[in-house]
Amino acid sequence: MPTYKAPLRDIRFLINELFDYPAHYKSLYNGKDVDTDTIEMILEGAADFCENVLSPLYQSGDLEGCHFADGEVTTPKGYKEAYQQFVEGGWQGLSYPEIYGGQNLPMSLNIVKSEMMGTANWPFTMYPGLSMGCMNTIIQFGTEQQKNLYMPHLVAGTWSGTMCLTEPQCGTDLGQVKSKAEPNADGSYRITGTKIFISAGEQDLTENIIHIVLARLPDAPAGTRGISLFIVPKFIPTADGQIGERNSVSCGSIEHKMGIRASATAVLNFDAATGYLIGAPNKGLHAMFTFMNTARIGTAVQGIAHAELSYQGALPYAKERGSMRALSGKKDPEKVADAIIHHADVRRMLLTQKAIAEGGRAMIYYAAQIADKMTDALAQGDQAKFDEYDDKLGFYTPILKGFLTEMGLEAANLGVQVFGGHGYIAEHGMEQIVRDARIATLYEGTTGVQALDLIGRKVLLSSKGKVVREYTADILKFCGRHARNKYMRRFAWDLTKICAQWNALTVRIMLAARKDRDIVSSASVDFLMFSGYAMMAYFWAQQAAVASEHLEAGTGHETPEFYKAKIKVADFYFERLLPRAQGHAEAMVNPSRTLTSLPAEHFSFDY
């Protein structure tokens, strides 16, 4: 069973050496006082909590699962106590304003914390995680009164929040939402409808649960233009923020799921429950989209969390388990067999996990800086800047969420594979990681939805390919700077080629789409995966660049071995994983008719 150990050396390498968070923080309204000591305090505090409190509950929580009886959910043994420690540590308010009791630290530090927590225990982390969607909604669209009423409790973590979007008939296609909101005389609304798949929708960790609910006002336009947002508290707070009357929202059941079994997924029945409009009427979906980019980084983190945890399980096993002899001769001659880490194919699996975990971490930590800048622009009231960064992040998020969760699932499966048959046995804890990782490509927009968002909305519709041109121009500048360095030459060359190809593919699909609309869908997932491989290549090259600079100059906080390993893993990525992009490139340019021309009734002649 993997026990989580926070990879602080890798995290510090990214924070201090690759991205220089301390310098970046100086430019932020809420980062001026965040020095290296503050960062270290957060890192070490989070590591301690994750390693000693959350990690030990990961397997037991899965075994026990959540209990449901009479509308009440009981979380697994130890969850309440751990959550209490989470609240006492002030972890929920890390990046929320001080006026609500938070610590007002930059969002990126919150993402680093979430990564550690999610790696140690993803199902636990979902309880406070969902609350952030609720807090972001209230902080951005709530009235002063709403903010003052809810935020202090939510920031403290003594209350939690949810996002109630999905209904039985619709998930992705929220235009089909049926839940209705009817006005009361006092300005509140009666909310009626059924919401499903509500993570943390009911639990025994917090005093109150604040649901953000998508519903329709009377006479709202059909489809997505007729959806409004409502705050529906489990207990209606009194004016002074105390727990008041129980609202008529009830948990009908919780789902039996493949994984994340310690995280309660609720069916919620709203039966003329009292709700409060938040934001403009009929603009609910638009409001949701304004912070979808930041929210999706949170899910992208799951990809690297499970890659990391599975690697932490597989690596010691590969060093310990002896089987056969390496093809190039005995490596552990004193033993009856060589440790399997000496087999090249086992190394291929381990290095794939490592390349995904560390490459993905770099991608996320970079995106987190953009999120910091967005928050900064918002605080400064600079809408133009906000939009600029939002556009920038909008290119990253579908790639991060879509690509990293697919890769995280692969990495988790490789962890099982390193264990051989033992990986299939529950007690070793490796198969749980696969089951937990499996949700990541489904919720918060499936991989297909991310792919369509990327190619349809972000690349073609709103930028006509400009976003790819600009991004690759940045990469090419990087290549120019490093082309003559001995370590970097091959990376620069491969990146140059893949940038040219990325642009060519974008143009080709853009032109094809004029006559063949379906190609946007038929090419979408291959385009997403191609983009992901290309982007991760850039982040591996950046890590190698910093490592090689330190190696050559004899500088840096780390040992030469650390930097050499970074370069070797970058080599591995370019030689072994990046080539997969070619299969996606070749597949995506084919016309859509291969997919669309088979009549639906001819998909099977037997059933």
Q: How far apart are CA 414 and CA 420, in angstroms?
A: 10
The stretch near a second copy (CB under 8 A) out of 78-86, 134-142, 393-401, 421-429 is 421-429
Site for a second copy in 26-85 (CB under 8 A): none
| Binding of residue 598 to a second copy (CB under 8 A) | yes
> Looking at beta carbons only, is 481 or 580 nearer to a second copy?
580
Minimum CB distance to a second copy, residue 554 (Å) = 18
Element of type H or E holding 214: strand 208-215
| Binding of residue 496 to a second copy (CB under 8 A) | no
Give the 3-state secondary structure of 325-370: CCCCCCCCCCCCCCEHHHCHHHHHHHHHHHHHHHHHHHHHHHHHHH
Site for a second copy in 209-238 (CB under 8 A): none
Beta carbons of 401 and 300 less than 8 angstroms apart = yes
Q: How far apart are CA 154 and CA 509, in angstroms?
A: 45
Site residue total, a second copy (CB under 8 A): 117
Which segments of 517-583 are extended strands (E)?
A: none
Q: How far apart are CA 509 and CA 455, in angstroms?
A: 9
Element of type H or E holding 252: strand 249-254
Minimum CB distance to a second copy, residue 583 (Å) = 4
Minimum CB distance to a second copy, residue 373 (Å) = 29
| Binding of residue 394 to a second copy (CB under 8 A) | no
Site for a second copy in 141-170 (CB under 8 A): 166, 169-170
> Looking at beta carbons only, is 91 or 317 nearer to a second copy?
317
Residue among 187, 421, 486, 514 that touches a second copy (CB under 8 A):
421
Q: How far apart are CA 227 and CA 93, in angstroms?
A: 30
Residues identified as active-site: 444
Q: What are the φ/ψ torsions at residue 428 (nearest 5 degrees)? A: -75, -15
Q: How far apart are CA 263 and CA 267, in angstroms?
A: 13
| Binding of residue 86 to a second copy (CB under 8 A) | no
Q: What Rg value do the Cα atoms of the chain yield, rounded? A: 24
| Binding of residue 581 to a second copy (CB under 8 A) | yes
209 three-class SS: strand
| Binding of residue 424 to a second copy (CB under 8 A) | yes
Q: What are the φ/ψ torsions at residue 459 (nearest 5 degrees)? A: -90, -50
- Beta strand 72-74 with 249-254: parallel, antiparallel or unpaired? unpaired
Q: Which residues contact 605 (CB under 8 A, 6 or more apart)?
A: none
The stretch near a second copy (CB under 8 A) out of 97-105, 111-119, 205-213, 420-428 is 420-428
Residue among 154, 277, 339, 467 that touches a second copy (CB under 8 A):
339
| Binding of residue 425 to a second copy (CB under 8 A) | yes
Residue among 80, 435, 469, 508 that touches a second copy (CB under 8 A):
435
Among positive and negative, which fits the CA dihedral 344, 349, 350, 353? positive
| Binding of residue 450 to a second copy (CB under 8 A) | no
> Looking at beta carbons only, is 31 or 445 nearer to a second copy?
445
- Beta strand 180-183 with 67-69: parallel, antiparallel or unpaired? unpaired
> Looking at beta carbons only, is 20 or 51 nearer to a second copy?
51
Minimum CB distance to a second copy, residue 461 (Å) = 11
**Between vectors from CA 169 to CA 399 and to CA 165, what angle results, nearest 5°?**
55
| Binding of residue 306 to a second copy (CB under 8 A) | no
Residue among 183, 281, 420, 480 that touches a second copy (CB under 8 A):
420
Residue among 23, 258, 280, 461 that touches a second copy (CB under 8 A):
258
The stretch near a second copy (CB under 8 A) out of 107-115, 249-257, 370-378, 476-484 is 249-257
Minimum CB distance to a second copy, residue 568 (Å) = 5
Site for a second copy in 452-491 (CB under 8 A): 452, 456
Q: How far apart are CA 253 and CA 255, in angstroms?
A: 7
The stretch near a second copy (CB under 8 A) out of 117-125, 211-219, 345-353, 538-546 is 345-353
Minimum CB distance to a second copy, residue 213 (Å) = 18
Question: CA-CA distances (angstroms) from residue 593 to 288, 312, 329, 514, 520?
Answer: 35, 44, 52, 14, 12
The stretch near a second copy (CB under 8 A) out of 97-105, 106-114, 415-423, 483-491 is 415-423
| Binding of residue 315 to a second copy (CB under 8 A) | yes
Site for a second copy in 168-207 (CB under 8 A): 169-173, 175-176, 197
Q: How far apart are CA 560 and CA 603, in angstroms?
A: 57
| Binding of residue 320 to a second copy (CB under 8 A) | no
